[in-house]
Amino acid sequence: MQARLNALGTRIAPKIVKHLVSTDKVLTDSTLPKATQELVKIRASQINGCAGCLDMHTKDAALAGETPVRLHLVAAWREATVFTDEERAALELAEQGTRLADGSGVTDEAWANAAKYYDEEQLTALVSLIALINAFNRLNVILRQPGGDYQPGQFG
């Protein structure tokens, strides 16, 4: 598969990506656990079918010490025993926040469950992370950005 266009070769895309990456840096520096951040990015990217983001975030998570078992089981997190209750709450919120078009939005139960484990700063980071990875997913999916060639850490 080839990308529909080289967006980074345009004048506007690097400016947009710069701001998205700046937002990601704020979230990376937040108190939301790094493992949770990567799991959420991976799950949203799975739902959205974003090969480029899956390539990046699975490789970066592995480099940061995430286990292959957990990476392989993200798509089936409900049935897997390798995730904490906190991570499960974040993954549920990520799924519901990614599937807004399915009509049910984010349930009060999912929100209350996440609020049991994360403080307001972390919840703000989590919600922002879900929105940000969905923005990246949509850019990449619309442009048909392929996955497979990402080198861990290549974007800093």
Token pair 């345009």 in the structure block, residue: 10
Backbone dihedral region for residue 153 (phi beyond 0: left; psi -120 to 50: alpha; all else: beta): left
Q: What are the residue boundaries of the structural domains of the chain, listed by start?
A: 11-142
Mean pLDDT of the chain: 94
- How does pLDDT run across 26-47, given as a tens digit for each residue? 999 999 999 999 999 999 999 9
- Quote the CA–CA distance of 2 and 118 in Å, as a whole number: 40
Q: What are phi and psi of 150, to 5 degrees?
A: -65, 135
Confidence of residue 1 (pLDDT cuts 50, 70, 90): confident
A 10 A CB-CB count for 91 gives 21
The token pair that represents 30 in the structure block = 């937040």
Provide the CATH number for the domain formed by 11-142 in this structure. Answer: 1.20.1290.10
DSSP classification of residue 122: H
Average pLDDT of the segment spanning 94-109? 94
The token pair that represents 134 in the structure block = 């969905």
% of residues, the chain, pLDDT over 70? 99
Which candidate, 81, 37, 73, 75, places its Cα nearest to that of 56? 37
